[in-house]
Structure 1
Amino acid sequence: MQRFCLVLLFCLYSTLSVFGQVKLSSQSKKAIEYYNKSDEYLSVKNYKEGSAILEKAVKEDPNFIDAFQRLGDIYRITKDTANAKKNYQRVILLNPDFQKQDYFFLGDIEISNGNYISARQYLEKFMSYEDKAQKYIPDAKRLLADCKFADTALKTPVAFNPKNLGDKINTSADEYFPTITADGATLIFTRRTVNNEDFYFSNLVDGKWSLTTPLKGNINTPNCNEGACNVYADGQLLLFTICNSPNGLGRCDIYFAKLEGSKWSKPFNLGPPINTTNWESQACLAPNGRTLYFVSERKGGLGKNDIWKAELQDDGSWTAPENLGPNINTPFNDESPFLHADDQTLYFSSEGWPGMGAHDIFISRKDNAGNWGKPQNIGYPINTFREEISLVTDGSGNKGYFSSNTLSGHGGYDLYNFDLPESIKPAKLTFVKGIVFDKNDKLKLDARVEVINLKTGTSIYKSLSNAETGNFFASLPLGNEYVLNVSKKGYLFYSDHFTIPGNDTSRVFTIEAPLSPIAVGEKVVLKNIFFETNSFQLNPSSKIELNKLIDFMKSNPTVNIEISGHTDNIGGIQPNQLLSENRAKTVYGYIIKAFPYPNRLSYKGYGETQPIDNNGTEKGRANNRRTEFKVTKIE
């Protein structure tokens, strides 16, 4: 509902009363005395006393239109819609054309209570006036579109089975803005107690949520409100909002914290150009770990609050934020973006697209060219005439999570989940779980983990494994081949390759990634270097792995290596020897072009002389056909 400035409104009333520019509709001196007395209260925003004395005025004169009008305005602005409606209707009964915008206000009030038929009648009456107030026209058109949408939506409801998450999570306080890791195992949310917002979490154990506890570490504070959090899919990074922080740039800024073992790090302000002197909030990170979506009221948008995005660059800075444009944003408020782990399904809240009134939840899907499609309202009764502010889903795309204060709960806002209808589910994914550790002493390591689409070269996932557990978790689209690269300073990198079938949603890939400390004699099998059959011509997809090796050499200037080629035992000793030499030479040639330091590189073919698996099976022979590098010297 539109809220208008009380100061200007009541200054106008006072001016008209004092200078007598408007003749009041009452002849009762007592009623007029009460009416004028209300100016004193309203000028200091004492709306309670102001409305009370106006009620006396209309009791003295039941036909005092000006007093009913003023009462309607006060009750509307103070959100007492029932009394606002009653007084506006009284004005219209006494004089249908007294204030034409009253029809707009009544239409707005009726939609806020789900009365779409009467809302439409009031709004159409307002729009019928040729001399109507121009500033209300955009909102009137929007609300009429809501009435039209609601008429259809009420006749075609979608399946909706909300389930309260239970007393281990919900309390008599307000719980809202839930976020969940892609594996559905950890839920983080905001709880408001004694006017302070803090983060709490719960783990799913044997299908049941554990008793919530405050997030461990340095995030929650007694003096600032922390809210609107969004956890990165693997649970290792948390984006959130802090308002009124002493080190903030604006009223509310976006921060992030990293999970260090089992505790969260000190919050870091993302700084400019993400945060400004304006209001920034409600951030989420794409699966690639580099694209940030967030809400801002900065200049250059299409409405008051718009959804923007920015890219993290290699030097750690952010690109200038880019507005998502008219396929997502409207002249009204568009908020609460949540990008599913499929990187192509965006859920967000909007009051600009046709809905049930107020904010509704919408879904938009990204096409192959990276453009967002026209948003789809996710339907009634998920959306209602009340405020639907945010929706997140688990990685499987089967469950949606939201907060509500209108369902039977434990008090205030509670957290719920429900089964997502098929029409609004994201793309199917599968998951890769891994653990990174030191090959020698088995200690768990925090290492950089990256998963790359082998065909496109696009980074699908980039994060750090947990320093305490060594764990990492990635959600990946189906039907692709992927490169896995794990790296850490002081260690040789780990390379792997896997294919996810297009219909395999149940399988969870489990990977162990042992890292070898850099030492003479240590080897790495380059599992993502590919040649044509019986050829030493490199497959173009090999460039991903080769470039990782070049980066390793640049980052370790004292390390010398040997590139080695190996074959299975099929095809003869001499041909295999020659093939292995040529393949090693080809890899050497690619690297030396980008890294012209031949004194640090050598190559050699070993043919079939150094098998690492049984040549009696196809799998064993495939493992033996390989390219390796070995540390030969550390200067």
Structure 2
Amino acid sequence: MNKLYLLGLFLIFVPVLCLAQQYKHIPLQDAAGIKVHRKAPKQELQITFPNLNQLPYYQDGKKLAAIQKLEKKRRYNEVLPLLEAYVNNFGIENFYKDTPLIWRLGQLLEKQGQAEKAKSLYRLVLKHHRSDVRRVYSYYDSLEQNNKDFYVPLNYYYEMVEYRKSVSTFQPPKGVYLNMGNSINSPYEDYGPTINSEDDVLIFTSQRNTQGLNGRANEDLFYTQQQNGYWEEAKSFGKPINSIYNEGSACLSRDGNTLYFARCESPDGFGNCDLYVATKQADGTWGNIQNLGKDVNSTSWDSQPTLTANEDTIYFASDRLGGFGLSDIYYTYKNKKGEWQKAENAGPVINTRESEVSPFFHPMYQVLYFSSRGQLYNFGDFDIYKTYRVGGQWQEPRNIGPLVNGRGSEYYFSIDSKSKNLYYARSEASDLHNLDLFSFPLPMEAHPLAVTKIEGTLIDSVTNKPLSGIISVIDLENGIEISSKYIRPDGSFEFDLIDNTKYMMLIQSPDFFTIEREISLQQDTAFQIMTTIIDYSVPMVFKNIEFDQNQSDIKEDMKPILDEVALFLLDHPTYRLEISGHTDGAGDLQFNLELSQDRAEAIKDYIEEKGNLPEGRVEAYGFGSSKPLREEKTQEDRQINRRVEFRLIKPEKVDRKGR
């Protein structure tokens, strides 16, 4: 649908008593700020830590004493370069032992005007502290309240969709949290999906074979093949991949001939679980199973491997000693001889004092997905995040939103080669151990190419103050779903979208009618949006509602405006509407009274039917010529008196959802 529902009532109709003349009429494109940037993710200002995988803890008493001496003398300009150099030398243990130094460096950088670099350090404090830092949280939240996302709860998101179905041509969401069904999932835990490069073989881990080592549940690898768009019933990998030991969390090479997986409690292992590699034989079976060795594996738990696009690096999860938290993301890479090198920690931006697990490296792009319970802005227990590698550094991870992350836990995220569908394991909040496999179309927040930023500010054209509301964006070409967000406290909003694509932007608010505007991200674009809030105490008259003489039939040119009114009532289900019909003074008084009532009733019936509204939300009254606005001396006077007035009745209290 390429129709614009204008924001401000003063843009589409004139309030009675000529109140519109008190306000400047501002065209939609001429006011306040949506800007589009067609650039790859920019590199964030971060400090590098070259000692992370070289020494566990850095300390230099003389340098620290010099810094403290300058601090006491308040010579902060001299403190800053010394403290930055000191923190730059941190090893992993410094991040939880010396977080006050990171916090102090951030403060000094902020005072010097380096706000973005300072915030990156504040985030490190919040991720790695092991003490009470409520003051830091409070301070950081105050800095970020106009930068972070305020997602609309999923249940209300679907209510919004239902409200709009009768007046909107947009397709409803495809749905999220779609279970892959009984042919894949079992009554036991199923998790760890990975898909081959052809997108027709899905490998996963299951505990359905209960006879394992020492009578415990046994983890085995299973696979399913896609035929005619449907996944067939899952089958076991069988021997020699599956054994009396636990196997799982596999990934395939691009040609499908090399399998990396985890095996636990095996006699040839170095720790609890190790990473192994197997090769497909000429007859199609798997063999030549080898442990990746002590440079990769540790004496602890090592599992969940994922290959990079060029297949020379493996990222995996490990709870080995010397990490940042309970479990961390590590990586190993091949040297020129094809040998896997000593595993290294992926660093303090990805890892936290909590657990990071189940990494997935996108098969085409420099994007790493992983599950975490220690990153900022969690929706549930474990959430899935994505991070981009820019200039050799991992950028701040982004939560991929409530269309993927629910109140429970999500792990083992995987995407097909075309970035069309996602596969992952999740549990409900009520049962964190009942993992099933889920698959559904990839939402925008999770898409690797969603890097074009659209941002804007919504303000009142009279007071220049920010307005509240909900922003939704609809992909008109690909059907990719995008989470709706509340407008931030300062009136701003932003989305990361895919370039060279057409979108429809919807803005809904209790203060004005909904806007629907098409946006084409094919070139750098600047939009301007400003609106005037509704004055609910003043009735309004629509310019384009003109009945034929002595008739009460709804004309075609009235319908677009009446559709807007119906849409507003759908978007704001606790608001009511009063319609009053008025005629000029010519003709019979009783006939005019009946005609005005008929016209008001006709409009009422149309709006109720269009919006499928319940009885009582719209009321219609006819006043004939009893309430003129002007003494009728001219034809213009009579035209002004011939009108239909609309009065929106606002509920006494409106919550943040506009209900």
Normalized per residue, the structure richer in helix is 1
**TM-score tier (shorter):** 0.3 to 0.5
Question: Given the two structures, how large is their TM-score scaled by the length of structure 2?
Answer: 0.41
> TM-score by structure 1 length?
0.42
Q: Which has the higher contact order (CA 8 A, sep 6+)?
A: 2
